[in-house]
Amino acid sequence: MNKVLKVIIKLLIILLWVALFYLQFERPYISSLAQNLSPTLLPSVFLHNFFWLAWLAFPLLVLAFLKGRFFCWNICPLGLLQDLLPSGADTRIRRTNRLIFLFLFGFAFFSLNLLAFFDPLVTLNRTVASMKIRFAAAIVFLAPLILILLLSLIRRRWWCFKLCPLGALFDWIFRLKSSLREKGTPVDTGRRKALIVLGSGLLGGWLWRRFNLRKSELHRRLIRPPGAINENDFTDRCIRCGSCISVCLTGGLQPALLEGGIEGLFTPRLVPEIGECDEFCNKCGQACPTQAIRYLPLEEKRNFKMGTARVDRNLCIAWDRDRLCLVCQEYCPYLAIRTVKNENGTPCPVVIEELCRGCGLCEKNCFAHPIHAIMVYNRGAGRFID
């Protein structure tokens, strides 16, 4: 097969992967299916409960047992993309890659799934998702891909051989096959070191979760998507793939920076000033590949409380300037804003906390500038309103 034909085939495979992830904009479940092909998502799946998408990872596990890194060389979009770039000298596979994988694999079963964060399929999906977010956040979202490609210019597939968790997993599986063939031969002269590293990862993840080594208090403006599980489990289970951000109808879901601490980096948060949570949309729950955001039927989703709006009377046009403005009440789809009259008889807005879902539509349309007079905070989030 000549070089030109090989390049064309690689380009077609990459485009097929991009098209697959691009389809999620209209068919959110596509992202779940595609990303769950990767076994690195399994710790996020088993961390809480087993669900049906887990079986999708097993074909790649079988392929690795039979052919080693066949997926890496011939199917992986990130690997093929590196092959199309000019590169330096070849890179040798080192044991370090496999040991890093074991540590992160053990850690992920009790805490943050950093394996999936660096997974090539998740990385590509995050790249597609960056099309739907603000420029500054998109650059941060694209940083891992940019770094991988820059490293490839220095050494051929440096990332694949040195750090890629999926490639390391395939190496371990293929070595298992080799050890089964060698009857009575030790599996690996470094087996003890491997067990120590794996045990260290398990212990580290357990200690992180047991002693809750996290940011003690979340930023009060950190508003999670509807259906998000409790915060500690959410940051553990979320793989920062950006699928929920991709499918958000209003663009209100954006990647968090440090609002939730280091462990909350790149996780989704609702930014009402950009876009509200649409009353009749539950796409984020459909797109999430690990159920960090639970899928909720529309009726349940409409009654899920993401937070509570609060009126700042010092900024409100009605309260502070004594002028008629009830835009927030007009836009509220849940009738959670009523009016009371101030001392001059002007109607002014008041939020009924028991009815507010925290969707952010009031904040999005507030006339007060540059700071909105009504803003949503995460108070009371995570429960259903009867």
Cis omega (within 30 of 0) on the bond before 349?
no
Q: Identify the pLDDT of residue 258.
A: 80
The pTM score is 0.82
Q: Give CA 154 to chain center in angstroms.
A: 29
Residue 201 in this model has a pLDDT that exceeds 70: yes
Give the separation between CA 60 and CA 69, rounded to whole angstroms: 10
Read off the pLDDT band of 1 (50, 70, 90): low
Q: Rg (Cα) of the chain, in Å, rounded?
A: 24
> With the C-alpha atoms ordered 102, 108, 114, 117, is the resulting torsion angle positive or negative?
positive
Read off the pLDDT band of 53 (50, 70, 90): low
Residue 338 in this model has a pLDDT that exceeds 80: yes
Residue 105 in this model has a pLDDT that exceeds 90: no
Which residues in 102-136 are b (16+ Cβ under 10 Å) and which e?
Answer: bbbbbbbbbbbbbbbbbbbbbbbbbbbbbebbeee
Q: Identify the pLDDT of residue 310.
A: 95
pLDDT per position as a tens digit, 109-144? 777 778 888 888 888 888 888 877 777 777 877 888
Residue 83 in this model has a pLDDT that exceeds 60: yes
> % helix / strand / coil in the chain, to the nearest 5?
50, 10, 40
Read off the pLDDT band of 183 (50, 70, 90): low
Going from the N-terminus, what domains does the chain have, and what CATH number goes with each? Answer: 3-210 (no CATH), 304-386 (3.30.70.20)
- Summarize the confidence of residues 77-92 as an average pLDDT: 81
Residue 181 in this model has a pLDDT that exceeds 70: no
The segment with the largest mean pLDDT, out of 2-6, 259-263, 353-357, is 353-357
Q: How does the average pLDDT of the chain come out, rounded? A: 84
Read off the pLDDT band of 47 (50, 70, 90): low
Give the separation between CA 344 and CA 34, rounded to whole angstroms: 60
Percent of the chain with pLDDT over 90: 29
Least confident piece of the model among 14-18, 172-176, 346-350: 172-176
Residue 366 in this model has a pLDDT that exceeds 90: yes
- Summarize the confidence of residues 161-188 as an average pLDDT: 74
Least confident piece of the model among 120-129, 134-143, 229-238, 322-331: 134-143
